[in-house]
Chains A and B, each alone.
Chain A
Amino acid sequence: MTIRELKEIIHADILCCEDKLDAEVHTACGSDMMSDVLAFVKNQSVLLTGLCNNQVVRTAEMMDMVCIVFVRGKTPDESTVELAREKGIPLLITPHRMFNACGLLYSNGLHGGDSV
C-alpha cells in the first residue's frame, strides 16, 4: 500500500514530507524499543511507535524506513519534526492505540514480514 492509503486506514495526520505520500510501504514494525526495531531489517517498512523523541527518526534513518507513525495521538517536538524533514522521512500521527493501529493495517494487507 502507499503511505496515502496507510494514512487513511489509521485516520492519521501527516506532519512533514507530504511529497512522499505516494511511496510504497511493504512491511510494518511496531515497537517502543528502538533496539528491537534495529534487530529486524525489512525493505520499505513503516515504524509504528509510542516513543516520541528524535532517536525514533535516527532509527528509521539507519533502517531506510519509509515513514514513522506515532500512535495514541502523540505529537513529537519541533526538533524531531525538523530532523525528519531533513532526512526526508514522513511523520504521521494516528489517534489509535498501538494494537489497534497495527490491527487495522494488518487486516488491510500490511504484514510484518517473516519473523523466523
Chain B
Amino acid sequence: MTDVIKLTYKVDGEDFTRAGEASSDLKGKLKKMNVPPDAIRKVAIAMYEGEINMVIHAHGGEITVEISKDCITMVLADRGPGIKNVELAMQAGYSTAPDNIRTLGFGAGMGLPNMKKYTDEMKIDTELGVGTTVTMRVNIA
C-alpha cells in the first residue's frame, strides 16, 4: 500500500443512535486493507469517542481520514460552541455533557483523555463560538 487513501464522513448531530456509524465503517475498511488489529482498535476507539463528542456537544460535523502505509490520520471538524478550557476538558472525569447524556452511557469525562490515550499524536484547535477541530494520528507499527 503506497498511496494515501482519503475518506470523508458526515456526522449527523441530531441522532444519537447513529453515532458510531462512521467509526464502524472505517473499522471495516481498515480490516479489509489488512491494517494490524491493534492499530485498527486504537483508531476505532479514538474516532468513536470523537464522533460521540461531536453529537453531544457540536450538532455533528465532518471527519476526514487519511490512510498511508505508516499512519492513519483523523481530522474531526465541527462548528459547535468550542471548548472553553482545553486543559480542564483533558482531565479524566471532567465533563460538560448534559445529564441526559449520562443516561445513555456517556458524559463520564473520559472522551478526550481516551482519544489521547489511544493515539500517537492529538491536537485540538478550538475557538469559542466558531468550532473545534481535533486531529489525531495513529502510527502503524
List chain A positions with a Cβ less than 8 A from chain B: 32-36, 38-39, 41, 49, 51, 53-56, 58-59, 61-64, 79, 87
Contacts and interface: CB of A to CB of B under 8 A. Distances in A.
B17 A41 contact: no
A35 B27 CA distance: 18
- Which of B19, B24, B111 has the most CB atoms of chain A within a 10 A radius of its CB? B24
B114 A38 contact: yes
Interface of B: 16-17, 19-20, 23-24, 27, 37, 41, 44-45, 48-49, 52, 102, 104-111, 113-114, 117
Main secondary structure of the interface of A (DSSP, over half): helix
A55 B19 contact: yes
27 contacts: A32-B105, A33-B105, A33-B108, A34-B105, A35-B105, A35-B109, A36-B108, A38-B49, A38-B110, A38-B114, A39-B113, A49-B105, A51-B105, A53-B17, A53-B104, A55-B16, A55-B17, A58-B23, A58-B48, A61-B20, A61-B44, A62-B24, A62-B27, A62-B48, A64-B37, A79-B17, A87-B24
Contacts of B105: 32-35, 49, 51, 53, 55-56, 59
A62 B41 contact: yes
Given A35-B114, A38-B114, A62-B27, A55 B104 contact: yes
Nearest to B95: A35
B48 A38 contact: yes
Contact of A58 (B19, B110, B113, B117): B19
Contacts, number: 71
A105 to B, nearest CB: 21
A35 B20 contact: no
Contacts of A56: 105
A56 B49 CA distance: 13
A79 B37 CA distance: 27
Contacts of B19: 55, 58
Nearest to A33: B108
A79 B18 CA distance: 11
Contacts of B117: 39
